[in-house]
Amino acid sequence: MPRLGSRSFFETFIRVLITLSAGTAVVLSSISVCDGHWLSSPGQQLFGVWGTCGKETCSPELSQVSRSMVVVRTGVSLAVVMAIFGLELMMISQLCDDGHSQKKWCLGSVLLLVAFFLSSTGTLTYVFLLKDFAVYSAFTLTFWCQFLGTFLFFLNGVSGLYINHLSA
Domains of the chain by start residue, with CATH? 9-167 (1.20.140.150)
Comparing 23-37, 77-91, 104-118, 128-142, the range with the smallest average pLDDT is: 128-142
For 139, phi then psi, to 5°, come to: -70, 135
Query: pTM of this prediction?
Result: 0.85
User: For residues 25 and 153, is the Cβ–Cβ distance under 8 A?
Assistant: yes
Q: How far apart are CA 131 and CA 58, in angstroms?
A: 17
Three-class DSSP category at 48: strand
User: For residues 36 and 72, is the Cβ–Cβ distance under 8 A?
Assistant: no
User: For residues 112 and 160, is the Cβ–Cβ distance under 8 A?
Assistant: yes
Task: Give the pLDDT confidence score for residue 129 in this predicted structure.
Answer: 83
Is a pLDDT exceeding 70 seen at residue 116?
yes
How many beta carbons lie within 10 A of that of residue 56, not counting itself?
Answer: 5
33-75 residue pLDDT tens: 988 788 776 665 667 777 656 555 666 666 667 777 888 889 9
